[in-house]
Amino acid sequence: MKNEVLVRVKDLKMHFPIRAGVLNRVVGAVKAVDGVTFDILKGETLGLVGESGCGKTTAGRAILHLYRPTAGEVAFRGVDLAKESPEYVRRARRHMQMIFQDPYASLNPQMRVGEIIGRPLRVHGLVKDAQEEKHLVTELMQKVGLNTSYRDRYPHEFSGGQRQRIGIARALATSPDFIVCDEAISALDVSIQAQIINLLEQLRDDLGLTYLFIAHDLGMVRYISTRVGVMYLGKMMELTSSDELYDDPLHPYTKALLSAIPIPDPPLERQRQRMLLEGDLPSPSNPPAGCRFSSRCPLATEHCRAVEPKFREVTTRHWVACHLV
């Protein structure tokens, strides 16, 4: 069904307590994600971008309930997982998987590749015997472009790109509908990044997958994403279609991020003006009052510093949180 919502995130918050003293009392909280709202439509790729520390990875993990959200709603297929039992969430996780950032740290070095890919099949009871598991693992390795004769090798015998393919095969093992790609290409060489992006796109089209694609490389996100959301300090700043975000950005933070993307044309690169941000990213344990971006925004007014802007739809399917738009 067109425009069917697969994942609905509403006012999601993920706060981590700060403890201190001999009694280990809570003295504050790191507001990693502080009230984000968006939908992910079936069959699309939603890109989620922002600086390191903006909360995008935490948001992805909270959606999968790898972290239990502090507040808010995460509905998968119309069911709010926060209201369900841990057993229900465990069963639902078969349909929601994750591809991790570091292909070197996310694979067990003591397990063979066949065991790594086949483990989800056993955990979720999807195979009857070892023979069926071996058959399915072979199919998965073929889908992601791995030589099936490598099934008895260990992760250290593979390159970074091959390891990430192993991680993708493991995520596909349970036939999920939704996959969170947590900076799945950032640890790879540029040439390998393009191969993995092409593989993810092909799998999305062939298997009808839905992705949340978390990244900080806006140039790469444009090519794989249907829509793109921009996060800053735990808040969603802007959300719209990929083409519109890059062609007509509205939020000053989005404009600053896009101006940092190099243009592969020296004369044009020398002529354009970059929007430079001053200062460092504020601490998520003590964010600025009003707009989160007000302490670094060159256009900020006193109203921006005092009143938090609402995340609103300013044009059709173009959402932004800024008083100046």
CA 92 to chain centre: 19
Q: What is the pLDDT of residue 277?
A: 79
CA 184 to chain centre: 9
Out of 154-168, 253-267, 281-295, pick the least confident.
253-267
Residue 153 has pLDDT above 80, yes or no: yes
Q: What is the pLDDT of residue 269?
A: 63
191 or 319, greater pLDDT: 319
199 or 103, greater pLDDT: 199
- The CATH classification number of 5-320 equals 3.40.50.300
Determine what percent of the chain is predicted with pLDDT higher than 90.
Answer: 70
Distance in angstroms (rounded) separating the CA atoms of residues 95 and 307: 40
Place of tokens 């900080």: 216
Distance in angstroms (rounded) separating the CA atoms of residues 16 and 14: 7
Determine what percent of the chain is predicted with pLDDT higher than 70.
Answer: 98
Residue 192 has pLDDT above 60, yes or no: yes
Place of tokens 């460092």: 280
Residue 2 has pLDDT above 70, yes or no: no
Contacts 24+ apart (CB under 8 A), 278-281: 281/51, 281/53, 281/54, 281/233
| Close Cβ partners of 282 (under 8 Å, ≥ 6 residues apart) | 233, 288, 292, 295
Residue 273 has pLDDT above 80, yes or no: no
CB 297 within 8 A of CB 253: yes
Residue 130 has pLDDT above 70, yes or no: yes
Residue 1 has pLDDT above 50, yes or no: no
Residue 199 has pLDDT above 90, yes or no: yes
**pLDDT digit string (tens) for 281-308?**
888 989 999 999 999 998 889 999 999 9
Mean pLDDT across the chain: 91
Residue 174 has pLDDT above 90, yes or no: yes
Q: What is the pLDDT of residue 303?
A: 95
Confidence band of 186 (pLDDT split at 50, 70, 90)? confident
CB 155 within 8 A of CB 126: no
The pTM (predicted TM-score) of the whole model is 0.91
